Amino acid sequence: MAGASGGGIGFRIGLSYRLRDSFDRTMKRSQLEAHRKTLLALRDEILREAAIPLEPARRDPTRVGADEDEQPLTEMLQVIASNRNRNRATELARIEAALRRIDENPDDFGLCQECEEEISERRLAAMPYVERCVDCQSAEDGPRGGTRRHLTDYR
């Protein structure tokens, strides 16, 4: 009798694990689809916005004695536009890579590519294209503000 009830409990526990595992995979699929939709929306937003054009430093090369502030201002605007275009291209590449990870190996999406631990859901919700957990990304970035001097350094 004890053996029969033990088997029943074991069966129920095994069934419970299988149901929970199935539920986790179902939740994972719904989360993957939510991340896919977010990534596609981000990609569409980037593609919808055209790259910022870089204006030439001088519009009329024959003009002499132009406003002295115009040249540095134009150069500064060129640098800002160039940086923004480069950042958008980088973000677009990361979004495309995340979409490929979802398509090619959905079980690994959301795992850190360095330590293979799960990336927190809050981090993925904020940036669904991330490849590393906070700890590994922090190690990759190095210490923040390492070169900044404090007033007490000048004593």
Q: pLDDT digit string (tens) for 99-128?
A: 999 999 888 888 999 998 999 989 998 999
Cα maximum dimension of the chain = 104
Residue range of the domain that includes 29? 20-57+69-108
Q: Sorting pLDDT into bands at 50, 70 and 90, what band is 81?
A: confident
Give dist(CA 4, CA 11) in Å, integer.
10
Q: Residue 6 falls within a domain, yes or no? A: no
Please report the pLDDT score of residue 78 as a whole number.
85
Residue 46 falls within a domain, yes or no? yes
138 belongs to a structural domain: no
In a domain, 97, yes or no: yes
Q: Is residue 150 part of a domain?
A: no
Task: Show the tokens assigned to 56.
Answer: 């030439």
Tokens standing for 8? Answer: 């029943």
Does residue 30 form part of some domain? Answer: yes
132 domain residue, yes or no: no
What is the DSSP secondary-structure string of 25-78? HHHHHHHHHHHHHHHHHHHHHHHHSPPPP---S-S-TT--S--TTHHHHHHHHH
Who wins on pLDDT, 69 or 155? Answer: 69
pTM of the model: 0.65
What gap in Å lies between CA 95 and CA 100, rounded to an integer? 9
Tally of structural domains, the chain: 1
Residue 3 falls inside a structural domain: no
